[in-house]
Structure 1
């Protein structure tokens, strides 16, 4: 479990494509300072298991399901990534509860810089049947994880949502260098998914009576 508070921006140093997965090697001196094999580190919001940490880098295996659902499918040497170690039981929950289970990707479709902050607009893909997809789980003033960053939603509609980024977020995460057209990983609030599931099951049960 994570909080969406990025600890450092690392970079991918090597990518080894496999038949149905990929192995990445990532540089992150801070997050590897106390890392052991089997530990969890969020890489752009994706919870991955540490393999052979050494010299400020660590390896991870990314299975096909994760590659299909996240922007890690396009990872290449030199790609910068947000890194966060798993939440310690005695630590403060500074952001919100983030599982590291990416629901899908969104595209940056608008950037509006101002003197002290930047408004960013994201478009989420619709479902094949024309449904609103992930947007149905996003609410104004709710929390969302974008590339592993805990953010507050400032606006939402059927096509996507907006957030406001303060200078600290722009300076200390990858969003400060992302441009229009870039894709990002999204993890919506898990509570919204549970509520939807319970309502569907309840409606189906009632209909069967």
Structure 2
């Protein structure tokens, strides 16, 4: 579990094709200061498991499903990535509840009127509401505008300075995780609606 508050901008050292996924080695002195084998670190919002660490670097294996679903497939050596360690019990929840389970990707369209705009798949857009939470590349952000296939956020200078959104260019893909509470509510509402329809048809 994460909060979407990026702790460190790391640098990808290497990307190795393993046949059934990729192995990433990332330079991140802060997040590796107490990292152990089996710990979770979010890389651009993707929860990954540490398999090796030392010398300020850590290595993770990324399975093909994660490569397919996320923008990790575009990562190359030298790229900057957002890093966050899993939250500890009792930590402040500075952002919102983030699982590190990416739902898909969006495309950065650009910035205007102090807003940064993204285009996302229509099947994800209904989870977004104005003033609701969304995770972009592992960053907890507040939705300013929510459309059918796009949304916008307002970025403060600190976010631009300390995260990948400060170097992203129009046309680039970013990882998106919608609010898990919205997904649970949808599931519960669908079950209730099915029960109502079944009752109505039997009356």
TM-score normalized by the length of structure 1: 0.92
The counterpart of 1:207, out of the listed 181, 197, 202, is 197
Q: How far apart are residue 182 of structure 1 and its match?
A: 1.0
User: Does the residue aligned with 1:92 lie in a helix, a strand or coil?
Assistant: coil
Partner of 2:115: 119
Any stretches of 5+ residues in structure 1 without a counterpart? 126-131
Q: How far apart are residue 65 of structure 1 and its match?
A: 1.1
Partner of 1:59: 59
Any stretches of 5+ residues in structure 2 without a counterpart? none
Partner of 2:8: 8
Q: How far apart are residue 177 of structure 1 and its match?
A: 0.7
Partner of 1:128: none
Q: How far apart are residue 207 of structure 1 and its match?
A: 2.7
User: Does the residue aligned with 1:10 lie in a helix, a strand or coil?
Assistant: strand
Is 2:23 the counterpart of 1:23?
A: yes
Partner of 2:75: 75
CA offsets per residue over residues 118-174 of structure 1, 9 Å max, x none? 42000002xxxxxx2100000000011100001011001101100000000000001
Is 2:176 the counterpart of 1:180?
A: no
Partner of 1:89: 89
**Alignment size in residue pairs:** 199
User: Does the residue aligned with 2:126 lie in a helix, a strand or coil?
Assistant: helix
Q: How far apart are residue 208 of structure 1 and its match?
A: 3.0
User: Does the residue aligned with 1:76 lie in a helix, a strand or coil?
Assistant: coil
CA offsets per residue over residues 83-116 of structure 1, 9 Å max, x none? 000101121111111110100000011212x7xx
C-alpha separation in 1, matches of 2:158 and 2:75: 25
User: Does the residue aligned with 1:88 lie in a helix, a strand or coil?
Assistant: coil
4+ residue runs of structure 1 moved beyond 6 angstroms?
none
